[in-house]
Chain A
């Protein structure tokens, strides 16, 4: 006689803890959902993969003209275009990941109401799918470094670290917002605005050295400030290694993520009814 796993289905089953064993059992689905998001994103667009480059490059051009050329914002001694683009690569990833991730549950309503799978996989896959864009946008970044004759130091090797931080930050935000989005569709309309505000709260168009020293730690409450400074430090040698600020950011992300997971778990059961 075979031994079968027993599942008990009842109200408020399992508490608020994340069922890591179950997530692990569904790892293939995470892979396929990510893979689907990547494929589908470019399948029906005329420009296809070019979009991954177009978005940050266009932003870089606009920023260079208005903030670099006209407003003459300082750029820590490196040409403004490459200064902006080094920040736009992680920023564009983050902005898209937050938007896609936050809409992931609502956009997959049909799936959510008909099949069970750990719901956390939906925002996670949406965030991970954005990493492909980073890889593509990085090609242009390398070209720009060559054009401007900037040779990165060994600090370049820390890039994955900052990318992971950007990824986890996006995930933490997406977990919160995707769950809230199911109950409050206001989230969908607030997102573009939120992302725009966040852009100016991060050192994308300006260097973080513009922020007065007493505000430094407060500024670090925005993990993306640390991510972008990390990118600039690793690639361009400008800015300084975000050291203490990085610790503050890590703490913020950890709190955001743990809180997000708990909130997500608390409302996860009612998704199918509320959506």
Chain B
């Protein structure tokens, strides 16, 4: 068997993976093959027959194409990109689940893949049994698993349930156990896909720590994630995949900021110069809506510490209308974060509006919105009673995470809002009052 002692852990050259759209019907029925056999005998029976049908090139889809990169031992590489950009296909090829259509990857060392936690768990088996089974599925020898057994149980923190069938585990416990098994796998190259999506805060911190250890121990890590904060803290280098190709490869901070600035089809501004064409009705028509950092423009980035303004410019077509706007802001989960009304506005509130063009600006303070996508829904209300105009997707903007001040916590920050709240800690009594026996 060939071996290597060079520094290169992984060399990927011209890697490509082609799918046929027809494969989405998932499996063939024999009758399809029989029907096809009439035109092309035997082509259907072997796995290769299918890729020969070049006539159907319009049904061909390259999940990955011309991917080249080299990874040294001990390096941690982040792989980012939109859904469907080819990230998972790349990991599947590297972990040998599926084979490439063209090109090659040369891997020096054992690859351990953690593609989806809990794969291979059997619900009827106990935690103990599943550790053994899952460990061996991941390629561990029996003795190796037994040697690490206690560490795995400790890490997953499932001592009490170790002899309970896994079907009685909570999803969090299941995820912890699965990650623990994979984390203790001694492989040269660790392939990780989105582990941070699971588990509670405490466990996510442990996962990140473990992955950091892995890189420090000289293991090579390939980390696929949507979590930019995590990738920035774990991987010095990242690859951005777009449409199956390497779009950028370099220092993570550069790649991530490039990715973030172009990756979302956000809608931070809309305008309708022609009042005749503008959305609205006989009373009110929109002119422009925009969201931007206070004092900045709508193309500027917003993070959790940015004060934000939302501008709504509109024409009042009806002399003396009493109008007020209502903004509903929803987060990615569809939760309404808040509803804002201009009740604190002094000059026009409750007064009849002469015809003309108006601008309402709503100020959202810094440290209010949590990170993630936000959608703004706009309502125009007449006489504080009737909704005369309604626009569901007026604006869509992204509030970026702020990597500073998270104290080593990289998972999701929970909650619809993320305020910086005043907090104080005081010592009320000195330790002398605690009885000797109770001191730890």
Q: How far does the alpha carbon of A269 sit from the alpha carbon of B26 in the complex, in Å?
A: 16
- A11, A40, A44, A267 — most chain B CB neighbours (10 Å): A11
Is residue A132 within 8 Å, beta carbon to beta carbon, of the partner chain?
no
Is residue B115 within 8 Å, beta carbon to beta carbon, of the partner chain?
yes
Known: A9-B105, A26-B139. A4 touches B4 (CB 8 A): yes
Is residue A8 within 8 Å, beta carbon to beta carbon, of the partner chain?
yes
Whole-angstrom distance between the Cβ of B71 and the nearest chain A Cβ: 13
Residues from chain A with a CB closer than 8 A to the CB of B111 are 7
Interface residues on B, range: 35 or more
Are the CB atoms of A6 and B106 closer together than 8 Å?
A: yes
Whole-angstrom distance between the Cβ of B291 and the nearest chain A Cβ: 40
Q: Which of A171-186 contact B (CB under 8 A)?
A: 182-186
Q: Which of A46-91 contact B (CB under 8 A)?
A: none
Residues from chain A with a CB closer than 8 A to the CB of B98 are 269-270, 272-273
Is residue A275 within 8 Å, beta carbon to beta carbon, of the partner chain?
yes
Residues from chain A with a CB closer than 8 A to the CB of B19 are 273
Whole-angstrom distance between the Cβ of B440 and the nearest chain A Cβ: 42
Is residue A196 within 8 Å, beta carbon to beta carbon, of the partner chain?
no
Are the CB atoms of A186 and B103 closer together than 8 Å?
A: no
Residues from chain B with a CB closer than 8 A to the CB of A274 are 23, 27-28, 47
Residue of A nearest to B117 (CB): A114
Residue of A nearest to B46 (CB): A266
Q: Beta-carbon contacts of B117-153 to A below 8 Å, as 1s and 0s?
A: 0011010110001001100111111100000000000
Is residue B1 within 8 Å, beta carbon to beta carbon, of the partner chain?
yes
Whole-angstrom distance between the Cβ of B418 and the nearest chain A Cβ: 34
Known: A28-B141, A111-B137, A115-B119. A9 touches B47 (CB 8 A): no
Contact of A110 among B93, B119, B125 (CB under 8 A): B119
- A116, A184, A275 — most chain B CB neighbours (10 Å): A116
Q: Beta-carbon contacts of A231-275 to B below 8 Å, as 1s and 0s?
A: 000000000000000000000000000000000001101101111
Known: A36-B133, A40-B124. A1 touches B95 (CB 8 A): no
Are the CB atoms of A36 and B125 closer together than 8 Å?
A: yes
Is residue B108 within 8 Å, beta carbon to beta carbon, of the partner chain?
yes
Q: How far does the alpha carbon of A116 sit from the alpha carbon of B114 in the complex, in Å?
A: 11
Whole-angstrom distance between the Cβ of B28 and the nearest chain A Cβ: 6
Residue of B nearest to A32 (CB): B136
Q: Which of B192-228 contact A (CB under 8 A)?
A: none
Residues from chain A with a CB closer than 8 A to the CB of B136 are 28-29, 31-33
Contact of A184 among B2, B30, B125, B133 (CB under 8 A): B30
Residue of B nearest to A10 (CB): B104
Q: Which of A17-41 contact B (CB under 8 A)?
A: 21, 26, 28-29, 31-33, 36, 39-40
Residues from chain A with a CB closer than 8 A to the CB of B137 are 29, 32, 111, 115, 117
Are the CB atoms of A39 and B28 closer together than 8 Å?
A: no
Residue of A nearest to B142 (CB): A28
Whole-angstrom distance between the Cβ of B11 and the nearest chain A Cβ: 10
Contact of A114 among B46, B48, B115, B141 (CB under 8 A): B115
Are the CB atoms of A3 and B106 closer together than 8 Å?
A: no
Contact of A186 among B30, B47, B97, B116 (CB under 8 A): B30
Q: How far does the alpha carbon of A250 sit from the alpha carbon of B113 in the complex, in Å?
A: 41
Contact of A39 among B33, B92, B129 (CB under 8 A): B129
Q: How far does the alpha carbon of A1 sit from the alpha carbon of B97 in the complex, in Å?
A: 29
Whole-angstrom distance between the Cβ of A37 and the nearest chain B Cβ: 10
Are the CB atoms of A39 and B125 closer together than 8 Å?
A: yes
Are the CB atoms of A184 and B33 closer together than 8 Å?
A: yes
Known: A32-B132, A116-B113. A13 touches B99 (CB 8 A): yes
Are the CB atoms of A272 and B141 closer together than 8 Å?
A: no
Residues from chain B with a CB closer than 8 A to the CB of A272 are 92, 97-98
Q: How far does the alpha carbon of A180 sit from the alpha carbon of B125 in the complex, in Å?
A: 29
Whole-angstrom distance between the Cβ of A17 and the nearest chain B Cβ: 14
Whole-angstrom distance between the Cβ of A155 and the nearest chain B Cβ: 38
Whole-angstrom distance between the Cβ of B219 and the nearest chain A Cβ: 12
Residue of A nearest to B145 (CB): A28
Residues from chain B with a CB closer than 8 A to the CB of A113 are 97
Whole-angstrom distance between the Cβ of A93 and the nearest chain B Cβ: 23
Whole-angstrom distance between the Cβ of B36 and the nearest chain A Cβ: 12
Residues from chain A with a CB closer than 8 A to the CB of B115 are 114-115
Residue of A nearest to B101 (CB): A11
Is residue B350 within 8 Å, beta carbon to beta carbon, of the partner chain?
no
Residues from chain A with a CB closer than 8 A to the CB of B371 are none
Is residue B40 within 8 Å, beta carbon to beta carbon, of the partner chain?
no
Residues from chain B with a CB closer than 8 A to the CB of A115 are 95, 97, 113, 115, 119-120, 137-138
Are the CB atoms of A183 and B132 closer together than 8 Å?
A: no
Q: How far does the alpha carbon of A113 sit from the alpha carbon of B103 in the complex, in Å?
A: 21
Are the CB atoms of B133 and A6 closer together than 8 Å?
A: no
Is residue B170 within 8 Å, beta carbon to beta carbon, of the partner chain?
no
Q: How far does the alpha carbon of A13 sit from the alpha carbon of B110 in the complex, in Å?
A: 17
Are the CB atoms of B104 and A8 closer together than 8 Å?
A: yes
Q: Beta-carbon contacts of A94-117 to B below 8 Å, as 1s and 0s?
A: 000000000000000011111111
Is residue B342 within 8 Å, beta carbon to beta carbon, of the partner chain?
no
Are the CB atoms of A114 and B2 closer together than 8 Å?
A: no
Residues from chain A with a CB closer than 8 A to the CB of B105 are 8-10
Q: Beta-carbon contacts of B173-188 to A below 8 Å, as 1s and 0s?
A: 0000000000000001
Residues from chain B with a CB closer than 8 A to the CB of A29 are 136-137, 139
Chain B contacts to A: CB under 8 angstroms: 1-5, 19, 23, 26-30, 33, 46-48, 50, 92-111, 113, 115-116, 119-120, 122, 124-125, 129, 132-133, 136-142, 188
Further 17 A-B residue pairs, CB within 8 A, beyond A2-B5, A116-B95, A272-B98: A3-B5, A4-B4, A4-B108, A6-B1, A6-B107, A26-B139, A29-B137, A36-B122, A111-B137, A114-B97, A115-B113, A116-B97, A183-B47, A266-B47, A266-B48, A273-B98, A275-B27
8 residue pairs, one from A and one from B, having the closest CB atoms: A10-B104, A4-B109, A116-B96, A270-B47, A114-B119, A267-B47, A9-B105, A269-B99
Can you report 19 A-B residue pairs in the complex whose CB atoms are below 8 A from each other? A4-B108, A6-B3, A6-B108, A8-B107, A11-B101, A21-B1, A26-B139, A29-B137, A29-B139, A33-B136, A39-B124, A40-B122, A40-B124, A114-B97, A184-B28, A266-B46, A266-B47, A269-B99, A272-B98
